[in-house]
Chain A
Amino acid sequence: MIEILNFLLAYFVFPGLLFASVFGLLFMGIDRKVTAHMQHRIGPPVWQEFLDFGKLLGKEDITPAAAQGVVFTLMPLLALGAAIAIMLLLPINSAQPALTAVADLIVIIYLLNIPAICIMLGGYSSACPFGAVGASRYVVQLFSYELIFIVAALTAAFKVGSLSLGDIVVYQAQNGWLAFKAPLAAAAMLVAAQGKLLRVPFDIPEAESEIVHGPLTEYSGPKLGLMRLAYGIELFAVAGLVTVLFFGGPVAHTIAGVQIPGVVSFLIKTFAIVLLTTNIRNIAARLRIDQAMKFFWTIIALLAIVNLIIVVL
């Protein structure tokens, strides 16, 4: 009984739905504010994403007549569910994630792909040419960044000798950040994360001036709200995974006798990574899909693989 209650608490409050959505949406809001300042605009308030989400939930729920209704409706829910499940598997407050001894790095890599696949299926099922083109671009992009993402993550796992994120955090607490021991892999991971989060120069699948909003073109109202929430949590989760793998993850400090929980350092590091992606997206133009693929498969793949070989040897 206690176990079930604990699970529900973890899923809905910390570090699940409530915690993840508050920080995911907050990070998105800060991202928009920082972007505005970089562009000499005032920009929306940082809580704008919460207002947007609330407003979208109150709108009429529309499914296009030509769309595959069931798939179209299911995808936002699935994307959100998968994003929250990742949060449960990340070590956020201490070296132990909320769900212990259930899953490891491989499951997280799988789960991280589910929101992307949901967006693709949503695009294909929406019966809209922009959605279809956007989804097909997303498939290509997925095959571009995913290999690098996996290789970089495996480099960290090899270095530590374990696929468990808890072990990776403990190892870094004793031996220092993996970013210093495997800098090339960390850099490759950050670029792959930029692609995974669809941020300029890799916002190709939803390039607004080319294909409107890509796979999400036909989404509106509550479904769009859920998609955005899922994106916010995915942003948080990807930044969190990079933090855990390369930047030490959660570390508890004691400053002037006050015990500061690990989640604080986790949030600060995650936030720094989000800010880094925000910076990159504001100083570049969007690449074409073939250019992005070439970029990932040559320079970045080389970085990741070289570092993997160094670590394995």
Chain B
Amino acid sequence: MSFVVPIGPQHPALEEPEHFRIEVKGEEIVDVDIRLGYVHRGIEEALSKRTYMHGLFLAQRVCGICPVSHSLSFLRAVEEVAGIECPDRARYIRTIGAELERIHSHLLFAGIAAHEIGFTTLFMLFWRDRELVLDLREMLWGNRVHSSETTIGGVRWDIRPNQVPKVLRNLAVLEKEVKHYIDVVASDRTILARCANVGVLTKQMARELCAVGPTARASGVDWDLRRDDPYAAYGEVPFKVITERDGDVLAKILVRLREVLESIRIIRRALDAMPSGPLRAEFKGRVQEGEATGRVEANRGELLYYIFSKGGEKPERVRIRTPTYANIPTVKPMLVGGTIAEVPIVLASIDPCFSCTDRITVVDRSTGKTQAMTKAELRGLHR
């Protein structure tokens, strides 16, 4: 006999409200049903009602962890439609901002992963060292996460020479710690027992389900937009794309920790190679007709903004596709066949961000009832 264990919408393993119906026989999982839509906020609609400059700030607030990625993606699309060329120094500063964000996001993920397998000490240590990066962001741009250092056509703040030594100092401390953590994660017996060969996503499955970002790279898919479709200064700063072969939870943790080391190297090189010059190109507020797609490698994978403009100060339509949305289908093959004990760590292993993900909620005006629609219902609407 099988019965259903609900994970969510409110559950300690989930940082945000989503619903996973886990059908189990004893402890074994036989089926998974995923219901999204609990944190739908209507941001795409709101974006088309605001000017581009206001929209930039709103786009950053889609996600509480990766605002820089969202702003860069939005900017990539807007600057293409508006025909603005971002100055060189600003491109390097954008790169540094994005990589600082990647470090803090990956350490946040690693902390959550440690928490999900009950290793609270490691969780606390990861988050202690994440503070090193957040301090840097606060020093450089005045805020820890929502720093809003980017603007249309460039950046709003320069990195001054007297700030560079502190950046390098904190990064050196962090590099040493992260190397130690990689050793710990790859060798601790209890961590291996919980993470190795758990929630495996094969390379073939990752390709078929169109997984993105570290989730795909942990399965051996060698794909990184920073290298394959460079933006900001990534085309000029050499770096390695990190991949792992196994596709299990352990590989997903290791791939992110090793990306942190790579991000530290990118920041060092960008600080070295940063040219002098102006910080922003002029943006008059109006944009000609056209459409553009801007995609960046966000911390969790490919993030895509599509902007359709009929000319004027506001976009006609903005479409966002976030990395978690692309990664959600991979959850089912990773979970089925495992046990309930594996649910939290496997869910966490794609580093889900549900605020970014939610798009469609249907509200029945007459009854006030809210419901998510099935595929068949959506097809029916289509006809």
Interface residues of A (CB under 8 A from B): 35, 38-41, 129-130, 133, 200-201, 203-204, 207-212, 282-291
Q: How far is the CA of A40 from the CA of B111 in the complex (A)?
A: 14
| Contacts of B84-124 to chain A: CB distance below 8 A | 114-124
A209 near B13 with CB under 8 A, answer yes
Q: How far is the CA of A290 from the CA of B193 in the complex (A)?
A: 11
Residues of B within 8 A of A287 (CB): 190, 193-194
Q: How far is the CB of B339 from chain A (nearest CB, A)?
A: 6
Q: How far is the CA of A272 from the CA of B12 in the complex (A)?
A: 33
Residues of A within 8 A of B190 (CB): 201, 284-287
Q: How far is the CB of A199 from chain B (nearest CB, A)?
A: 10
Which are the 4 A-B pairs with shortest beta-carbon distances? A286-B118, A39-B124, A285-B119, A285-B190
Q: A201-B190, A207-B118, A208-B12 are in contact. List 17 more A-B contacts (CB 8 A).
A: A39-B121, A201-B118, A209-B13, A209-B117, A209-B118, A211-B340, A282-B120, A282-B121, A284-B119, A285-B117, A285-B191, A286-B118, A286-B119, A286-B190, A288-B341, A289-B341, A290-B27
Interface size on B, residues (CB 8 A): 32
A209-B125 contact in complex given A285-B194, A287-B194, C-beta closer than 8 Å: no
A204 near B341 with CB under 8 A, answer yes
Residues of A within 8 A of B128 (CB): 40
B115 near A209 with CB under 8 A, answer yes
Residues of B within 8 A of A39 (CB): 120-121, 123-125
Of B6, B12, B27, B124, which contacts A209 at CB under 8 A?
A: B12
Residues of B within 8 A of A210 (CB): 13, 340-341, 343-344
- B5 in contact (CB, < 8 A): yes
Q: How far is the CA of A39 from the CA of B114 in the complex (A)?
A: 13
- B149 in contact (CB, < 8 A): no
Residues of A within 8 A of B118 (CB): 200-201, 203, 207, 209, 285-286
A-B contact pairs, 25 of them (CB 8 A): A39-B123, A39-B124, A40-B124, A40-B128, A129-B3, A129-B5, A133-B5, A201-B190, A204-B341, A209-B12, A209-B116, A210-B13, A210-B340, A285-B114, A285-B117, A285-B118, A285-B119, A285-B190, A286-B117, A286-B190, A286-B194, A288-B193, A288-B194, A288-B342, A290-B339
Most chain A beta-carbon contacts within 10 A, residue among B3, B6, B118, B194: B118
- B188 in contact (CB, < 8 A): yes
Of A41, A212, A283, A284, which contacts B124 at CB under 8 A?
A: A41
Q: How far is the CA of A285 from the CA of B115 in the complex (A)?
A: 9
B121 near A283 with CB under 8 A, answer yes
Q: How far is the CA of A209 from the CA of B342 in the complex (A)?
A: 10
Residues of A within 8 A of B13 (CB): 209-210
A40, closest chain B residue (CB): B128
Of A40, A129, A285, A289, which contacts B6 at CB under 8 A?
A: A129
Most chain B beta-carbon contacts within 10 A, residue among A130, A207, A282: A207
Residues of B within 8 A of A209 (CB): 12-13, 115-118, 344
Residues of A within 8 A of B191 (CB): 285
- B25 in contact (CB, < 8 A): no
Q: How far is the CA of A38 from the CA of B121 in the complex (A)?
A: 7
A207, closest chain B residue (CB): B118
Q: How far is the CB of B29 from chain A (nearest CB, A)?
A: 12
A285-B341 contact in complex given A129-B3, A129-B5, C-beta closer than 8 Å: no
Most chain A beta-carbon contacts within 10 A, residue among B4, B12, B115, B188: B12
B124 near A289 with CB under 8 A, answer no
Q: How far is the CA of A242 from the CA of B190 in the complex (A)?
A: 25
Residues of A within 8 A of B122 (CB): 285
Most chain B beta-carbon contacts within 10 A, residue among A203, A209, A286: A209
Q: How far is the CA of A41 from the CA of B121 in the complex (A)?
A: 10
A212-B12 contact in complex given A285-B188, A288-B342, C-beta closer than 8 Å: yes
| Contacts of B1-49 to chain A: CB distance below 8 A | 3-6, 11-13, 27
Q: How far is the CA of A240 from the CA of B128 in the complex (A)?
A: 36
Residues of A within 8 A of B124 (CB): 39-41
Q: How far is the CA of A204 from the CA of B194 in the complex (A)?
A: 12
Residues of A within 8 A of B193 (CB): 285, 287-288, 291
Q: How far is the CA of A115 from the CA of B193 in the complex (A)?
A: 29
| Contacts of B161-220 to chain A: CB distance below 8 A | 188, 190-191, 193-194
Most chain B beta-carbon contacts within 10 A, residue among A203, A204, A284: A284
A40-B125 contact in complex given A129-B5, A204-B341, A210-B341, C-beta closer than 8 Å: yes
Residues of A within 8 A of B116 (CB): 209
Q: How far is the CA of A39 from the CA of B125 in the complex (A)?
A: 7
A289-B11 contact in complex given A201-B190, A203-B118, C-beta closer than 8 Å: no
Residues of B within 8 A of A130 (CB): 5
Q: How far is the CB of A41 from chain B (nearest CB, A)?
A: 6
Q: How far is the CA of A40 from the CA of B196 in the complex (A)?
A: 28
Q: How far is the CB of B185 from chain A (nearest CB, A)?
A: 10
Q: Return the CB mask of B341-355 against A: 1 if under 8 Å, else 0.
A: 111100000000000
Q: How far is the CB of B383 from chain A (nearest CB, A)?
A: 39
Q: How far is the CB of A203 from chain B (nearest CB, A)?
A: 6
Residues of A within 8 A of B3 (CB): 129
Residues of A within 8 A of B340 (CB): 133, 210-211
Residues of B within 8 A of A288 (CB): 193-194, 339, 341-342
Most chain B beta-carbon contacts within 10 A, residue among A203, A210, A285: A285
Residues of B within 8 A of A203 (CB): 118
Residues of B within 8 A of A289 (CB): 27, 339, 341
B6, closest chain A residue (CB): A129
Q: How far is the CA of A284 from the CA of B344 in the complex (A)?
A: 17
Q: How far is the CA of A207 from the CA of B11 in the complex (A)?
A: 12
Q: Return the CB mask of B118-136 against A: 1 if under 8 Å, else 0.
A: 1111111100100000000
